């Protein structure tokens, strides 16, 4: 794939982004020239032209947000452009759903006309188009509010293999913050404050904490230093840690702010001190889409771990649970899916992932999949509210 030079030649933007941008703008030009310009009503032509013009402005803004999330642009310099442009993507999605409905209705009206030649379906199509456009904007505005503040959820998890001497272990699972183009250090601070208020025994960071590079947004994760949990704060990589080509530096940044990375490794955590009581073995595996030197390696992660140990497995995708189930883990903690983020995406997620949100089973092993605290792309969530998951683990 050819590439397009950007940012003083230091990094290079894949030409695919440029091609898509050009195609979208070309499509808008065609709509203006072939459709809007031919409308018989002058007010309608003015309104249509204004709408196409607004879309032509917002579309490049969306790509600015995507470039900021990939580390090509400093997010602080384009924060509002990114926010507005990426929000527009959610509206576009719901406008496309409206277009799909209109297409189905158009076919149906044509079929009805075969039986009733005098039937005119145009008024119905116009009403649906207007209602769909209003609904797209309204749904996006609702989703902005829904996504703004992650809620704390509580789930009791009973595990047969868990030693009863451990009592109840409160695990905070934080995933998919996606700090960067829209979410800032202040958002991360709010997540940390809400988590600490729950007084967890253990905090797990399940990947996709950022969108960008350490050089540009590394400071956004500084609040993680304030996380408090007597059994520790652990983290695994998600696919977005790799997107900007900076995964190694992000893992080091976690260490800098007091977070212990589990990069294909395990740690034994004692409930009552270093050499007494009962232990939980936490096994963490890199994201399955990770690349060397941080590619996923399940055998390395389970090296030295005995089948008799109570194993809490952590990996970004619930799909990775199949590997953990084979190796006898008691429970996996995951993220990645966002619960679909924008309805009805959750139904498409099930085509690729064996679990979507909450407590489900993967190959007979329980997996808790967090909907995530933030949002990727549009800072919008519809029928999938963001969460900080508090899991109360106890013996069955």
Nearest by Cα to 232 from 277, 193, 268: 268
- Whether 7 is covered by a domain: the verdict is no
Would you place residue 10 in the very low, low, confident or very high pLDDT band (cuts 50, 70, 90)?
A: very low
How much is the average pLDDT of 160-169?
Answer: 92
Among 98, 113, 147, the domain-final residue is: 147
Same domain, yes or no, for 212 and 359?
yes
Rounded Cα gap, residues 179 and 186, in angstroms: 10
Q: Residue 360: helix, strand or coil by DSSP? A: strand
Q: Residue 153: helix, strand or coil by DSSP? A: strand
- Whether 3 is covered by a domain: the verdict is no
16: which 2 tokens? Answer: 């695919």
Note every long-range contact of 321-326, with CB atoms under 8 Å and residues 24 or more positions apart, other chains counting.
321/354, 321/355, 321/362, 321/363, 321/365, 321/367, 322/354, 322/362, 322/363, 323/285, 323/298, 324/283, 324/285, 324/298, 324/365, 325/362, 325/363, 325/364, 325/365, 326/363
How much is the average pLDDT of 348-362?
Answer: 96
CA-CA-CA-CA torsion sign (108, 113, 115, 116): positive
- Whether 391 is covered by a domain: the verdict is yes
Same domain, yes or no, for 115 and 225?
no
Higher pLDDT, 106 or 34: 106
Angle between helices 15-34 and 42-69 (to 10 degrees): 180
Nearest by Cα to 393 from 293, 282, 256, 303: 282
| pLDDT reported for residue 297 | 97
Higher pLDDT, 58 or 273: 58
> Tokens 């990069």 — which residue?
263
Same domain, yes or no, for 79 and 183?
no
| pLDDT reported for residue 180 | 94
pLDDT for residue 6 is more than 50: no
| pLDDT reported for residue 88 | 92
pLDDT for residue 34 is more than 80: no
Same domain, yes or no, for 233 and 305?
yes
Rounded Cα gap, residues 124 and 118, in angstroms: 15
- Whether 6 is covered by a domain: the verdict is no
- Whether 385 is covered by a domain: the verdict is yes
Among 147, 171, 191, the domain-final residue is: 147
Contacts of 58 (CB under 8 A, 6+ apart): 84, 85, 88
**What tens digit of pLDDT does each residue of 366-388 get?**
999 999 999 999 999 999 999 99
| pLDDT reported for residue 15 | 62
Rounded Cα gap, residues 250 and 241, in angstroms: 7
Same domain, yes or no, for 292 and 386?
yes
CA 104 to chain CA centroid, nearest Å: 31
Q: Where are the beta strands (DSSP E) in 220-339?
A: 233-235, 260-261, 265-270, 279-284, 311-314, 331-334
Contacts of 46 (CB under 8 A, 6+ apart): none
**What tens digit of pLDDT does each residue of 273-324 get?**
555 568 899 999 999 999 999 999 999 999 999 999 999 999 999 999 999 9
**What tens digit of pLDDT does each residue of 203-229 get?**
999 999 999 999 999 999 999 999 999
Domain of residue 32, residue span: 15-147
Contacts of 106 (CB under 8 A, 6+ apart): 121, 125
**What tens digit of pLDDT does each residue of 260-272 get?**
999 999 999 987 6
Same domain, yes or no, for 53 and 187?
no
Same domain, yes or no, for 196 and 91?
no
| pLDDT reported for residue 274 | 52
* Residue 210 and residue 247 in contact, taking contact as beta carbons nearer than 8 Å: no
| pLDDT reported for residue 114 | 85
Same domain, yes or no, for 239 and 136?
no
Domain count, the chain: 2
How much is the average pLDDT of 150-166?
Answer: 95
How much is the average pLDDT of 55-68?
Answer: 89
Would you place residue 39 in the very low, low, confident or very high pLDDT band (cuts 50, 70, 90)?
A: confident
- Whether 159 is covered by a domain: the verdict is yes
Of the segments 34-38, 71-75, 180-184, which one has the largest average pLDDT value? Answer: 180-184
How much is the average pLDDT of 78-85?
Answer: 94
| pLDDT reported for residue 185 | 97
Same domain, yes or no, for 175 and 278?
yes
- Whether 89 is covered by a domain: the verdict is yes
> Tokens 């800072």 — which residue?
379
Same domain, yes or no, for 229 and 210?
yes
Would you place residue 119 in the very low, low, confident or very high pLDDT band (cuts 50, 70, 90)?
A: confident
> Tokens 């404050």 — which residue?
193
Among 130, 147, 164, the domain-final residue is: 147
Stretch (H or E) spanning 389 = strand 387-395
- Whether 24 is covered by a domain: the verdict is yes
Same domain, yes or no, for 176 and 28?
no
Would you place residue 16 in the very low, low, confident or very high pLDDT band (cuts 50, 70, 90)?
A: low
Nearest by Cα to 247 from 278, 191, 290, 279: 290
Q: Where are the beta strands (DSSP E) in 148-235?
A: 151-159, 169-174, 202-205, 233-235
Q: CATH number for the domain including 314?
A: 3.60.21.10
Same domain, yes or no, for 188 and 332?
yes
Element counts in the chain: helices (H) and strands (E):
11, 14
How much is the average pLDDT of 63-81?
Answer: 90
Q: Distance between terminal CA atoms of the chain?
A: 54
Please state, rounded to an integer, the average pLDDT across all residues of the chain: 90
Which string of b and e fits 152-187 if b means at least 16 CB within 10 Å?
Answer: eeeeebebeebeeebeebbbbbbbbbbbbbbbbeeb
């Amino acid at each position: 794939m050819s590439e397009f030079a950007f940012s003083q030649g230091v990094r290079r933007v894949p030409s695919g982004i440029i091609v898509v941008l050009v195609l979208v703008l070309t499509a808008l030009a065609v709509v203006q020239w072939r459709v809007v310009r031919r409308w018989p009503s002058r007010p309608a032509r003015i309104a249509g032209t204004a709408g196409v013009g607004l879309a032509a402005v917002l579309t490049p803004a969306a790509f600015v947000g995507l470039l900021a999330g990939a580390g090509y642009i400093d997010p602080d310099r384009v924060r509002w452009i990114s926010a507005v442009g990426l929000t527009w993507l959610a509206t576009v999605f719901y406008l496309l759903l409206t277009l799909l409905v209109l297409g189905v209705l158009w076919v149906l009206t044509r079929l009805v006309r075969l039986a009733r030649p005098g039937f005119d379906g145009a008024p119905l199509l116009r009403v649906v188009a207007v209602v769909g456009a209003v609904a797209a904007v309204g749904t996006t505005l609702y989703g902005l509010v829904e996504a703004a503040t992650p809620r704390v959820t509580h789930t009791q998890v009973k595990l047969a293999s868990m030693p009863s001497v451990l009592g109840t272990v409160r695990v905070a699972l934080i995933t998919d913050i996606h700090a960067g183009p829209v979410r800032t250090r202040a958002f991360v601070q709010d997540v940390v404050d809400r988590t600490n208020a729950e007084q967890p025994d253990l905090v797990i960071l399940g990947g996709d904490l950022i969108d960008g590079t350490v050089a540009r947004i590394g400071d956004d994760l500084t609040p993680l230093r304030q996380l408090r949990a007597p059994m520790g704060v652990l983290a695994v990589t998600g696919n977005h840690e790799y997107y900007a080509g900076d995964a190694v530096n992000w893992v080091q940044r976690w260490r800098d702010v007091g977070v212990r990375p589990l990069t294909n490794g395990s740690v034994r955590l004692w409930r009552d001190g270093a050499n007494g009581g009962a232990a939980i073995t936490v096994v963490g595996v890199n994201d399955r889409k990770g690349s060397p030197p941080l590619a996923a390696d399940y055998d390395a992660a389970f090296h030295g771990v005995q089948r008799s140990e109570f194993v809490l497995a952590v990996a970004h995708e619930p799909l990775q649970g199949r590997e953990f189930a084979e190796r006898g883990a008691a429970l996996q903690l995951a993220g990645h899916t966002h619960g679909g983020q924008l309805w009805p995406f959750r139904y498409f997620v099930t085509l690729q992932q064996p679990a979507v949100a909450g407590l489900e089973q993967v190959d007979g092993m329980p997996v808790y999949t967090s909907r995530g605290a933030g949002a990727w792309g549009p800072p919008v969530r519809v029928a999938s509210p963001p969460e900080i998951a508090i899991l109360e683990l106890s013996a069955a």
